[in-house]
Amino acid sequence: MEPTTHPMALRMALHRTQPTLARRRSLVVVSSASIRRRTLGTVEAGGAACNPGNVCVQGGCALECPAGTQDCNGACVVLAHDPMHCGSCTNACGPDEYCATGLCRAAPVDAGVCSLPRRVCGGVCVDPSNDNANCGYCNFVCPADRLCTGGTCECTGGRSSCGEVKCVDTMTNSRHCGACGVTCGTYETCAGGACVCSVGATLCDGRCTDTNIDPAHCGGCGIACAAQQVCTGGQCRGSLSSWEMFGSNARHTGENTTETATPPATTSWSFQWPPRPGEAPAPFRGVVSSDGRVFATVDRSSSDAMQVVALHASNGAKLWSYNFGDVTSVGWPAVVAGTLFVQQPRGSDQVLSTLWAFDATSGATKWTAPFESQGDRFLPPVVVGTDLYMNGGYYGGLYGFSSVNGTQKFFNNTLPQYDRWSPAFADGVVYALAGRTLSAHDPTTGVTLWKLVLSPPGVPTSTAPVIASDKALVIAPPSVVAVDLTTHAPAWTANGAYVGTPAVAGNVVFASGGSLSALDLTTGAKLWSFAGDGALSYPPVVSAGHVYVASDSHVYAVDLTTHQSVWQADVGGRLATAAGRLFVAGKTGVLTAFVLTPH
């Protein structure tokens, strides 16, 4: 900030020095009227001495000023520099002048002298209370849709800030309808400052809904679907499939064997994770789904009020959420048998991290359990019956807990420290992939049964082992590696540019790496490929005779028989199929649900 010296400040500085001079000579600075009253009160008949600090001048007592100063109306001033008494007691300088050698001179801006409330910015006197280029302080430029008022950039034209980057019109803005913070519902729009039903939506029981997909109002208001049914095309159909954990199941195969709906698909709803003011939206970690509900967290890299949110699978309506407070991240959840499990690394004021168990229907906390970790980011835990297995440990490790009450069963601290991995479970064995180390563990004690260190250069990240038949499949970039679970040695390696986690359906392995590759499970030979947009990078998912694969900006449904795309959409991210929907969790903080065609 550039210095500012105002004439009044100069004047105050001069007056602050004068009492010091007066005190050195025991002067009392008062008004001339006071001097006269005090003089008359102390001069006796026949003539007497003046009070200390006064002198006798022409038969009267007057204020004694130090050399170089003069009494101007009862104050000792320096006529050479005082802007209120410049050169004489009656000469005051103008607002943009200063006093030098008894003369009023124009204040040069390069000397930082401006009249208040103005100040020097870039060598020019400006008023920061109303200057759009220097609002409040130098070089703070107001956006084009705001004016500087009282030193603050304020919205114009009846619009409001509402904590947004751009000014909003509360008459039409669905996030701030009628007033800041009043958000319209999923099937509502803002008109005239009020939330009204969008085109195609119906008002049922006081809320707007889409009767084509709402299980409570399926085909019309008050027509409710039975439990485990989904509303599609205004009709109640079938039962709801689930996507319970990473890769859908404890083996992480990426195949939903109970989902029967197929493409083509139509957009059902989208949910925007609210970004923090001035920051880009945080990407979704991924979603899980059970009993017609979808659960999600986001992947923030900085401290924030982190949440897990539960949405209705049919319409995206928010059912409940839980705020974990000021923590660095919240893990990708798993949902099994009506319980949602979430790992939360320790916050700034916490010693230990916490494993949470929520009632998936109500959001009520069932139990919590402490565990050790640093500021890790977690993939979902694996739940098998009454057992839960997960990544943890301050320096790495594998935990076993009771999924019923949170009792710790074991902790194996011999694993290397990596975050963003999830154990797998198959045929009575727990498998872990921490960095390049694939290991097998006893499910009761956590004892290591065997381990294999994969060859460099690739280090698997944000992944898990996929257990298919007698093999564990992992992607150690840039290759897919199949490890024989009997010999504990690599059975085959498929080279390419593979990333993420593969999927398996039948005897075919699907892997993303720019394009989608279909590999033979037994030999690793490439069977066929699909190019897409050339940037396919997310783990494929399989259901009902189709494999779904995505980039950051596109999602495709590929027929497993023809190997051709039969449907696509211009959104991308992590995928899951459940409840007759395809869910796409994007990097831009948007979760999109597509309704598949029921069968």
SS3 content of the chain, % helix, strand, coil (to 5): 5, 40, 55
Q: Is 16 among the domain residues? A: no
Task: Single out the residue in 237, 254, 280 at which a domain terminates.
Answer: 237
- Within-domain flag for 350: yes
Contacts of 244 (CB under 8 A, 6+ apart): 288, 289, 290, 334, 335, 336, 383
All residues at 6 or more sequence positions from 407 whose CB lies less than 8 Å from its CB, including other chains: 369, 401
Question: What does the pLDDT read at residue 334?
Answer: 97
| Alpha helix stretches (DSSP H) within 164-277 | none
Residues 226 and 367 in one domain: no
- Of 353, 323, 362, 338, the closest CA to residue 288 belongs to 338
Q: Please determine, for residue 162, whether its predicted confidence score (pLDDT) is greater than 50.
A: yes
Helix (H, G, I), strand (E, B) or coil at 41: helix
pLDDT in tens, 5-30: 333 333 333 333 333 333 322 223 33
Cα dist from 376 to 252, 286, 319, 459, whole Å: 21, 16, 28, 17
Mark whether 227 and 301 lie in a shared domain.
no
Q: Are residues 233 and 273 in the same domain?
A: no
CA distance 132 to 560: 61
- CB burial class (10 A; 0-12, 13-18, 19+) of residue 53? middle
- pTM as predicted: 0.65
Which DSSP symbol is given to 331?
Answer: P
Q: Per-residue confidence at 33, pLDDT binned at 50, 70, 90?
A: very low
Based on the fold, state whether residues 351 and 396 are members of the same structural domain: yes
DSSP 110: G
Hunting for tokens 């993420």 — which residue is that?
A: 500
Count of domains forming the chain: 2
| CA angle, residues 589, 473, 387, in degrees to nearest 5 | 75
Do the domain assignments include residue 410? yes
Cβ 495 vs Cβ 503: under 8 Å: no
Contact predicate 441/451, CB 8 Å: no
Q: Do 330 and 432 reside in the same domain of the chain?
A: yes
Residue 308 placed within a domain: yes
Is there a domain that residue 213 lies in? yes
Question: Are 487 and 582 contained in the same domain?
Answer: yes
State the pLDDT at residue 215. 82
pLDDT single digits (tens) 217-269 = 999 999 998 876 777 678 887 778 999 999 999 999 999 999 999 999 999 99
Quick check: is 89 in a domain? no
Q: Which of 200, 220, 237 is the last residue of a domain?
A: 237
Q: How far apart are CA 521 and CA 580, in angstroms?
A: 28
Q: Which residues contact residue 136 at a Cβ distance below 8 angstroms, ignoring those fewer than 6 apart?
A: 128, 148, 151, 152
Residue pair 188/196 in contact (Cβ under 8 Å)? The answer is yes
Phi then psi dihedrals of residue 320, to 5 deg: -165, 165
Looking at the structure, tell me whether residues 307 and 447 fall in a common domain.
Answer: yes
> Is the torsion defined by CA of 565, 570, 572, 577 positive or negative?
negative
Q: What span, in angstroms and rounded, lies between the C-alpha atoms of 147 and 120?
A: 20
Of 188, 222, 237, which residue constitutes the final position of a domain? Answer: 237
Same domain, 323 and 231: no
- Is there a single domain that holds both residue 279 and residue 231? no
366 shares its domain with 333: yes
Supply the DSSP string of 86-97, one letter for each residue: SSSTT----TTE
Closest CA to 508 of 563, 465, 458, 556: 563
Domain that includes residue 213, residue range: 208-237
In-domain check, residue 202? no
pLDDT > 70? residue 479: yes
- Same domain, residue pair 383 and 308: yes
Task: Give the separation between CA 599 and CA 580, rounded to whole angstroms.
Answer: 10
Q: What is the pLDDT of residues 360-405, one digit of tens each?
A: 988 999 999 999 988 778 899 999 999 999 999 989 999 999 999 9
DSSP 407: -
CATH of the domain at 558: 2.130.10.10
Q: Which residues contact 267 (CB under 8 A, 6 or more apart)?
A: 569, 592, 593, 594, 595
Residue 25 vs residue 156, higher pLDDT: 156
Q: Do both 219 and 352 map to the same domain? A: no
Asked if the structure places residue 18 within a domain, the reply is no
Ranges 63-77, 107-121, 511-525, most confident: 511-525
Encode pLDDT of 323-336 as tens digits.
Answer: 887 777 889 999 99
